Amino acid sequence: MLRSMYSGISGLRNFQAKLDVIGNNIANVNTYGFKKGRVIFKDLMSQTVAGAAAGNENRGGVNPKQVGLGSQIAAIDTIHSNGSTQFTGNTLDLAISGDGFFKVGNVDGTNVFYTRAGNFYLDEVGNLVDGEGRYLLDGEAIITIPLDSSSMSIAEDGTVSYVQDGEPFTAGQIQIAKFSNPGGLEKVGSNLYQETGNSGEPSEGAPLEEGRGKIASGFLEMSNVDLSEEFTEMIVAQRGFQANTRIITTSDEILQELVNLKR
């Protein structure tokens, strides 16, 4: 069987995966805190027809002769560049300007996840939670706002303040988790990430400290997907897919000619 046919098949699989990633990016163009994906290709092993030879006093060297056997996916990256911020005017909508993630989970430290989506709410007793009821954690503690408070505010350094009976109080300070390799985080859905062995352990602390970003109250971070870039990549992937199908059909026609040699 012709090697070119199998090379074409590998190309089809890779460009299909690229289209899958592009489709997911476009589907999440309006998802708060979403970070786009990117597919990187690399070549498969090459079959050596003739090896390299060093030169001597009578003749120069000879380069190796190799036939490539297709391509494969080298990586599917998550690009953690900052998205644009959208003003909402809601105090509990938070955006991180810079590096870091919000930490959400249970009070006992289980089911801990990290997110860039800062749409938070108050539950029935005044605890700060995300849309699925996970607590926004201040270290291992939760942040609670009395329901009878007259106003509340969140500063750039994460300090949560409120006014009750005309007196100012501090409810806590929102912590930001920073990873040495955010690209190593694993997406688990619902705008959440979880720590992996390659992400490094989170360095938790106050905003604006040790390279962590600041918090902007009343704003939400938009997706960092650029539609013009995604549509361009879609065209490239489509043409690459078509080119590989042409390789397969051409290889098939050559095989048909070989079969027809015997009549």
Annotated domain spans of the chain: 3-49+64-80+225-259, 85-221
E strands present in 55-165: 65-68, 71-78, 85-87, 94-97, 101-105, 113-115, 121-122, 128-129, 135-138, 141-142, 151-154, 159-164
Coil/strand/helix, residue 12? helix
Q: Give every CB contact of residue 263 below 8 A, 6+ residues apart in sequence.
A: none
Stretches where the chain sits below pLDDT 70 are 1, 263
Q: What would the two tokens of residue 72 be?
A: 């494969």
Q: Which of 161, 106, 160 has its CA nearest to residue 135?
A: 106
* pLDDT for residue 263: 66
Residue 56 is predicted with a pLDDT of 87
- Taking alpha carbons only, the member of 45, 39, 32 closest to residue 6 is 45
| H helices, E strands: number in the chain | 2, 21
Which pLDDT does position 227 carry in this prediction?
95
pLDDT of residue 184: 93
pLDDT of residue 261: 83
Cβ-contact 40, 80 below 8 angstroms: no
pTM above 0.95, yes or no: no
